[in-house]
């Protein structure tokens, strides 16, 4: 009877722990969204001010309408072409996400290799800097000639542009841990894999997420650069066609949608950061509040 009671109490405790964990995750997501809502009025106010300046320029005709369309005309273009803009946005978003995921995978592998091998670090790091100096727009035509007009060259160009911030932030983050903590873990019997998963990698997350937020925005730029060089789909192609047809309203509409895509992806990475490291974001916000 005692065993039955203790087993029942154990099962009940496990159920309660599971419910508490689910509620904690829900609260964390709700807390993040509440913080965004409380902090969102500042960028929203700045955006409204820019919209007012834009409207004022077109209202008093400081620039001709065929060069700078009004906000009303741009919005009308978005409303009248939702399917066209959406289909091309999906293409650009796919290229961006594919390149970003690949940059995270290969960037982290390269960072880990450089941290654990002095030879790899001395060999690969100068090459990475040299590759970053080479303008990717100059390589884009070669990729199109070699790989065709499909999605592959666009993803490759975006990958090359987003790769460097991930490598650098991952490398700096993995090297930022206190060596005494690793020595302490070794004295407690932790192996290399345990030390990496429980100490080195968690300590690198603040640096890593800083690089990821830069990389995801650069991936959008890389995808558009690839579409500029050779493509019949994507927001970059929409911008080229609108420019060729002197359809500035469509051009501005594509730029707005492209900017919205970049902001959404940036906020998605920031949301993941806040969920993975709530302690770090809380400390950062507290320090900002104290200094302000």
Can you give the pLDDT at residue 5? Answer: 41
Report the alpha-carbon distance of residue 104 to residue 106 in Å, rounded. Answer: 6
User: Tell me: the pLDDT tens digits for 115-166?
Assistant: 999 999 999 988 888 888 888 888 888 888 888 888 889 999 999 999 999 9
User: Tell me: the pLDDT tens digits for 92-118?
Assistant: 999 999 999 999 999 999 999 999 999
DSSP 190: -
pLDDT interval class at 288 (50, 70, 90): very low
- Per-position b or e across 190-204, b if 16+ CB within 10 A of its CB: beeeebbeebbbebb
User: Is the Cα torsion angle 263, 95, 236, 87 positive or negative in sign?
Assistant: negative
Can you give the pLDDT at residue 45? Answer: 84
Percent of the residues in the chain that have a pLDDT greater than 90, as a whole number: 47
Q: What is the mean pLDDT of residues 228-257?
A: 91
Report the alpha-carbon distance of residue 72 to residue 189 in Å, rounded. Answer: 67
Tell me, rounded to whole angstroms, the distance of Cα 170 from its chain centroid: 15
Residue of 3 and 276 predicted with greater confidence: 276
Is it the case that residue 1 has pLDDT exceeding 60? no
Report the alpha-carbon distance of residue 286 to residue 279 in Å, rounded. Answer: 11
Is the Cβ–Cβ distance between 154 and 234 less than 8 Å? yes
Q: What is the mean pLDDT of residues 250-276?
A: 94
Most confident of 1-10, 30-39, 134-143: 134-143
User: Tell me: the pLDDT tens digits for 156-193?
Assistant: 999 999 999 999 999 999 998 888 888 788 888 788 88
SS3 of 214-268: the string is HHHHHHHHHHHHHHHHCCCCCHHHHHHHHHHCCCHHHHHHHHHHHHHHHHHHHHH
Is the Cβ–Cβ distance between 88 and 233 less than 8 Å? yes
H or E element that contains 284: helix 278-291
pLDDT interval class at 14 (50, 70, 90): very low
* Structural domains present in the chain: 50-80 (no CATH), 82-291 (1.10.3720.10)
SS3 of 25-78: the string is HHHHHHHHHHHHHHHCHHHHHHHHHHHHHHHHHHHCCCCCCCCCCCHHHHHHHH
Percent of the residues in the chain that have a pLDDT greater than 70, as a whole number: 81
Q: Which structure tokens are listed for 170?
A: 């991952």
pLDDT interval class at 19 (50, 70, 90): very low
User: Tell me: the pLDDT tens digits for 196-232?
Assistant: 888 899 999 999 999 999 999 999 999 999 998 877 8
Mean pLDDT, the chain, rounded, equals 83
Report the alpha-carbon distance of residue 266 to residue 275 in Å, rounded. Answer: 14
pLDDT interval class at 39 (50, 70, 90): low
């Amino acid at each position: 009877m005692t065993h039955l009671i203790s087993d029942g109490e154990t099962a009940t405790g496990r159920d309660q722990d599971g419910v508490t964990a689910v509620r904690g995750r829900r609260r964390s997501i709700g807390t993040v969204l509440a913080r965004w809502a409380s902090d969102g009025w500042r960028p929203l106010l700045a955006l409204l001010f820019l919209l007012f300046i834009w409207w004022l320029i077109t209202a008093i005709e400081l620039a001709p309408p065929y060069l700078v369309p009004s906000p009303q005309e741009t919005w009308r273009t978005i409303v009248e072409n939702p399917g066209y803009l959406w289909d091309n946005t999906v293409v650009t978003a796919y290229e961006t996400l594919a390149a970003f995921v690949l940059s995270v995978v290969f960037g982290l592998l390269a960072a880990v290799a450089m941290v654990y091998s002095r030879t790899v670090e001395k060999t690969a790091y100068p090459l990475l800097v040299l590759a970053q100096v080479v303008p990717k727009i100059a390589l884009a035509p070669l990729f199109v000639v070699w790989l065709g007009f499909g999605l592959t060259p666009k993803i490759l160009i975006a990958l090359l542009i987003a790769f460097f911030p991930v490598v650098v932030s991952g490398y700096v983050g993995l090297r930022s841990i206190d060596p005494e903590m690793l020595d302490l873990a070794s004295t407690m019997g932790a192996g290399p894999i345990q030390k990496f998963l429980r100490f080195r990698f968690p300590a690198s997350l603040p640096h890593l997420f800083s690089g990821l937020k830069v990389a995801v925005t650069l991936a959008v730029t890389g995808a558009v650069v690839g579409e500029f060089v050779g493509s019949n789909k994507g927001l970059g192609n929409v911008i080229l066609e609108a420019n060729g047809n002197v359809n500035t309203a469509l051009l501005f509409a594509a730029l707005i949608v492209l900017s919205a895509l970049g902001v959404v992806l940036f906020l998605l990475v920031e949301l993941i950061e806040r969920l993975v490291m709530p302690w770090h974001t809380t400390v950062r916000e507290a320090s900002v509040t104290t200094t302000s």
